[in-house]
Structure 1
Amino acid sequence: MKILVPVKRVVDYNVKIRVKPDGTGVELANVKMSMNPFDEIAVEEALRLKEAGKAEEVVVVSIGPAKAEETLRTGLAMGADRAILVETDDTVEPLAVAKILKGVAEAEAPGLVIMGKQAIDDDSNQTGQMLAALLKCGQATFASKVELAEGSAKVTREVDGGLQTIDVKLPAIVTTDLRLNEPRYASLPNIMKAKKKPLDKKTPSDFGVDTAQRLKVLKTEEPGGRKAGIKVKTVAELVEKLKTEAGVL
């Protein structure tokens, strides 16, 4: 079985985001970029399934500028077998991403697609669900545990009320949550090997997808600063302030 893992190049999670002075977006010039953390978890899970003998090949795919090749090389250094870069300088919205991934999936015919539940830059949490709808296959979102069986996957999902376990028929889409695993670090030998692994380049037009934006960002601004807290001496005083000042009781 082949596992397809979409990955996205985003601002590194350790970087403090700065909004452009004109409010048109966030500052990306001279900013450290890395693989979306949820996608790292997806790559790790795919590699573990391969190491367990459940899959023969792991393919990572990214949609973005030429520099996204660095992100794919990270996935290859972790242990993926090959990579596909769908190169575009446009900002690609979730629906267009899902349509491109549909084309990639139809060409690659994976038994399983594992992807991060969301990207930390736009937090859309839409692509996995859209891809499942376009491919007309099952989906298991917010996965904290994945077990493959013959022709199906048993997935434990994190839901508001706790945990939910479902069986989904393969091929399927699985989106990963934080508690699924701890991604590995790429070793130096594997980083060197990654430079020689195959990386194919495509464009959205190869899949007949128009990446024109349907949404317009009107303004980007930093969240307001938090007000300083206060100390109360008694529970009664706390309850009174929650009623009269906070208005939550």
Structure 2
Amino acid sequence: MNIVVLVKQVPGTDNVKMDPETGVMIRSGKDTIINPLDENALAEAIRIKNSHENVKVTAISMGPDSAIKALKEAIAMGADEGVLISGRAFAGSDTIATAKAIAAAIKKLDSVDLIVCGERATDGETGQTGAMIAHYLDIPVETYVSAIEVKETSAVLKRTVEGGFERIEVPYPVMATVNKDINEPGFPTLKGKLQAKQKTIPVYGPGELGLEPAELGLKGSPTRVVKVFSPKLSRDTIMKKANGTTEPVDELMQFLAGKDVI
């Protein structure tokens, strides 16, 4: 069984920066982490690997050269291989261009049964990429997955839905985007870190993926950020001091009544 886990390197939550001119996220910062929900996806793939025979886990990431760090960490956690999609041609890719590139990379691998990723990333919060990859691969996708049971020719997926859960059995290959309820991610082991250090991470560019420059980056991205700005909050504070009477309270009640709050 071959499992692919999509691992995205994202800025720490407090360090997200955008280029105000292009509307593109700045990803050159050193303070980066693996997207938290992708950690859940990785942990689930490794759990399946450790509980079944003949399971191979390949982690795929798209980003700058620094994203090799995330793939090395994935291998240290228990993944077998890592693949990086990188190059200037991919800069500024929206979810459509990103999905197209990742789908092309997955097609280069041996027969893939299960693809797992977080339902969304903390930097974009779109939740679109997983479903779009499934579209380009022409395979089914199940979202908000909170449990995975693998069988010989199919997977039984537990989905979180409004008001409860549902269980669906889907034949391979299938894409599953997981939520945080699926597990608690673990930590790399010393043995895993040593193995990761010795691993060579192949890097795929547009040529290796068989994609044209017009399909990638800003050129291949129909989504456009019109404006980037920080919201400004302004409040007019009215201070009332207690003076031993009910006057401050009466004025507050009149103010709330004027705003139709009470």
TM over 0.5: yes
Within 1, Cα distance between the matches of 2:146 and 2:16?
A: 28
Q: Which amino acid in structure 1 is aligned with residue 158 of structure 2?
A: T
- Superposed CA offset, 1:36-57 (max 9, x none): 1111111110000000116521
Question: Are the aligned partners of 2:10 and 2:32 in contact in 1 as well (CA < 8 Å)?
Answer: yes
- Work out whether 1:197 is the aligned partner of 2:199: yes
- Work out whether 1:221 is the aligned partner of 2:229: yes
Residue in structure 1 matched with residue 245 of structure 2 by the alignment: none
- Work out whether 1:111 is the aligned partner of 2:127: no
Q: How does 1:78-93 map to 2 (within 5 A)?
A: 78-89=77-88, 90-93=91-94
Q: CA RMSD in A?
A: 2.9
Question: Are the aligned partners of 1:81 and 1:197 in contact in 2 as well (CA < 8 Å)?
Answer: no
Q: How does 1:35-74 map to 2 (within 5 A)?
A: 35-53=34-52, 56-74=55-73
Within 2, Cα distance between the matches of 1:78 and 1:191?
A: 8
Displacement after TM superposition at 1:88 (Å): 2.2
SS across alignment from 1:42? helix
Cα 1:148–1:11 change in 2 (3 A) is same
Cα 1:101–1:79 change in 2 (3 A) is same
- Structure 1: give runs of 5+ residues left out of the alignment: none
- Structure 2: give runs of 5+ residues left out of the alignment: 237-248
Question: Are the aligned partners of 1:63 and 1:88 in contact in 2 as well (CA < 8 Å)?
Answer: no
Within 1, Cα distance between the matches of 2:142 and 2:199?
A: 30
Alignment coverage as a number of residue pairs: 238
Displacement after TM superposition at 1:245 (Å): 3.3
- Larger deviation: 44-53 or 108-117? 108-117
Question: Are the aligned partners of 1:11 and 1:121 in contact in 2 as well (CA < 8 Å)?
Answer: yes
- Superposed CA offset, 1:134-192 (max 9, x none): 22212111111111112111111112222121111111000010111111111233222
TM-score of the aligned structures, taking structure 2 as reference length? 0.80
Residue in structure 2 matched with residue 176 of structure 1 by the alignment: 178
Question: Are the aligned partners of 2:105 and 2:204 in contact in 1 as well (CA < 8 Å)?
Answer: no
Within 1, Cα distance between the matches of 2:113 and 2:66?
A: 28
Question: Are the aligned partners of 1:132 and 1:173 in contact in 2 as well (CA < 8 Å)?
Answer: yes
Question: Are the aligned partners of 1:139 and 1:168 in contact in 2 as well (CA < 8 Å)?
Answer: no
Within 2, Cα distance between the matches of 1:130 and 1:167?
A: 21
SS across alignment from 1:158? strand
Within 2, Cα distance between the matches of 1:178 and 1:245?
A: 37
- Larger deviation: 23-32 or 171-180? 23-32
- Larger deviation: 67-76 or 17-26? 17-26
Residue in structure 2 matched with residue 102 of structure 1 by the alignment: 103
Displacement after TM superposition at 1:31 (Å): 4.8
